[in-house]
Structure 1
């Protein structure tokens, strides 16, 4: 096989995500969080990425990973994530970070809290680097909780759906926000707490709640 074929976008982005009809208890997840300089992928940059697998209803901390992206001008966003330009000097290039994230995603569904941030920045990075966007299966704990509250006739407002506030409702401890790895772990734990309160479903049933 030629090196060009091995590194082609088609091969790099062969994520092999689980089929929508897969029973949810058989789905392997990768909980992902990104800290960015803003909310618009075309204008802003990824500062850090954290991820952790969720397999067989267990958070696989031994396979958790955290990367900083060097060369980013964090600007005023440092107020939120507390990372300075100097902190990023020991990081890696964006392409290396996205390659590692893509490898970790293979065979898994992406799990995030308010997933449009992670999916938009990840897809934009793939398009920028390789000219192609990934085909993802996504479950969003933000959307799941919003739909749950609406079914209970408790309509959420602003702060009600923040990760820390939702975790508190499920009896989970409070973690410091805006560290990509900590938030990824927090999302993974929240998903398992949510799953314990729901009947067995298929992956596509969880995604019906992804209405953001």
Structure 2
């Protein structure tokens, strides 16, 4: 009970330090050694990393990451020079169903990078930043499972979930959801954002970063970061 009270009071950074104390040496420990952005900091002055993953399925325990795509955002500026896209060498085969969605074939995966190298670069870039993702449980679930499998430790990622922001906005409007209106492409259309190719990890990461910028414009006053964070 006392531990739960302390976690509620001190939040993500207290949990980060607890995980750091148990983390083995390596990329995960280096990531956890970097303090998270302050929850009370203005959201438009915070450092972010928008991440998207393409996977072979929905279950991190059974399925694999096919590709990583990410781009950094500092305040309201998206740094296109930071953009990265990696196709991952898989242990198994790409199923026909997932290949139809993301368009990545077995041949491409055979020449891709190792999961360990892509994950290590992601953690180094993500350190000190807040992750942005659309339906973020996918990215957190797969990255978390990969960290446990490769490094033997748990990760904690402060996250902004653009899907949850949209759900909260709909709840305030007190009207029923229409089918498909919470998809990334549909939400971008609402804000008159350009249409990009879907199910490419890098273009979806960029799409999500732009969507979050648009969602912030609905907040008239300067908003603290904690108002956008998904707390888990």
- Give the counterpart of 2:148 among 127, 131, 155: 127
The answer to whether residue 33 in structure 2 is matched with residue 14 in structure 1 is yes
Does the CA contact (< 8 Å) of 1:15 and 1:136 recur in 2?
Answer: no
Taking structure 1 as the reference length, the TM-score comes to: 0.91
Q: Which residue of 2 aligns with 1:171?
A: 192
2:94 maps to 1:74: yes
8 Å contact 2:27–2:123 — kept in the other structure? no
Structure 1: distance between partners of 2:184 and 2:107 = 28
The 5 A counterparts of 1:92-103 are: 92-103=113-124
The 5 A counterparts of 1:4-83 are 7=26, 9-72=28-91, 73-76=93-96, 77-83=98-104
Mapped to 1, the partners of 2:72 and 2:199 lie a distance apart of: 19
CA distance in 1, matches of 2:87, 2:111: 8
Aligned mates of 2:30, 2:69 — CA distance in 1 = 23
Q: SS state of the match for residue 64, structure 1?
A: strand
- RMSD between aligned residues: 1.8
- Farther off after superposition, 191-200 or 34-43: 191-200
Tell me how far 1:110 sits from its aligned partner.
Answer: 0.3
- Structure-1 separation of matches of 2:44 and 2:27: 33
**What is the distance in 1 between the residues matched to 2:139 and 2:77?**
22
For residue 61 of structure 1, give the secondary structure of its aligned residue in structure 2: strand
Structure 1 residue 116 corresponds to structure 2 residue 137: yes
**Deviation at 1:14?**
3.1
Provide the TM-score with structure 2 as the length reference.
0.83
Structure-to-structure mapping, 1:186-205, within 5 angstroms:
186-198=207-219, 199-205=221-227
**2:15 matched residue in structure 1:** none
Contact 1:23-1:203 at 8 Å conserved across structures: yes
Note the residue ranges of structure 2 that are not aligned, 5 or more in a row: 1-23
Query: Helix, strand or coil: the match of 1:43?
Result: coil
- State the partner residue of 2:126: 105
| 1:150 matches 2:165 | no
